[in-house]
Chains A and B, each alone.
Chain A
């Protein structure tokens, strides 16, 4: 039994959630990830045996550093949006749903932070 006003009870029955912003962000990140994703995996294919010098040399190049930062931000954003929908659809316990969403958001922001830190650290490091 809820002790809210009649208006509050009515509002519980309709979707008061935003959706347009999410929809657009999902599409824009999806479009951006077509070239960025292909660039990433074909770069992997060309990295010679994932040798340390080859990998740091590749990461350090300005264009690759910048594209990698784009990739980390865009994938994280897209991933957060996608997992949000999945959590909302399949997690039926309200408190657990909220906790999962908060955890997912923190995790993705954390991944962006760690990713950018790592790329920048390599980009500004002195070659061996």
Chain B
């Protein structure tokens, strides 16, 4: 059987960008970033198990100035994926499926994510 070479949906170029599709893309994107974070978490655990010298090597790397930006990024990804994940779980129970509710919960996710990320940053610094 030969497959017709039809274009695959969705045709992103014909859509106006809306919050729903942006958040959906972000959920996958932050998920992939958090998978990378899992690699760092396990590397860190292995370094702890490796003894003082091995741990200090890892700390020099993970605690370096340039690594602060990825850490802030992971914090953002964590809170976004958490908040939007709760939104997904609510949908799974049949709640919040009206268009206006999609938009309201979407904006709520953005606001809570930004506040939580900043709040966490303040907590870590002080």
**Quick one: closest B residue to A85, CB to CB?**
B28
Q: Is the Cβ of B34 less than 8 Å from the Cβ of A118?
A: no
Contact-residue size bin, chain B (C-beta under 8 Å from the other chain): 20 to 34
Which one of A14-22, A27-35, A95-103 contacts B?
A27-35
Q: Is the Cβ of B31 less than 8 Å from the Cβ of A82?
A: yes
CB proximity to B under 8 Å, residues A80-128: 82-83, 86, 111, 114-115, 117-119, 121-122, 125, 128
Q: Is the Cβ of A122 less than 8 Å from the Cβ of B89?
A: no
Q: Is the Cβ of A79 less than 8 Å from the Cβ of B75?
A: no
Main secondary structure of the interface of B (DSSP, over half): helix
A-B contact count (CB 8 A): 85
B48: A residues at CB distance < 8 A: 52, 55-56, 59, 118, 122
Contact-residue size bin, chain A (C-beta under 8 Å from the other chain): 35 or more
How far in angstroms is the closest Cβ of chain A from B122?
A: 10
Q: Is the Cβ of B82 less than 8 Å from the Cβ of A37?
A: yes
How far in angstroms is the closest Cβ of chain A from B82?
A: 6
CB proximity to A under 8 Å, residues B5-56: 28, 31-32, 34-35, 38-39, 41-42, 45-46, 48-49, 52, 55-56
Q: List 22 A-B contacts (CB under 8 A).
A: A27-B89, A27-B92, A30-B88, A34-B86, A37-B78, A45-B120, A45-B124, A52-B55, A75-B34, A75-B38, A76-B38, A79-B31, A79-B35, A79-B38, A82-B28, A83-B31, A86-B31, A115-B45, A117-B46, A118-B42, A118-B45, A122-B45
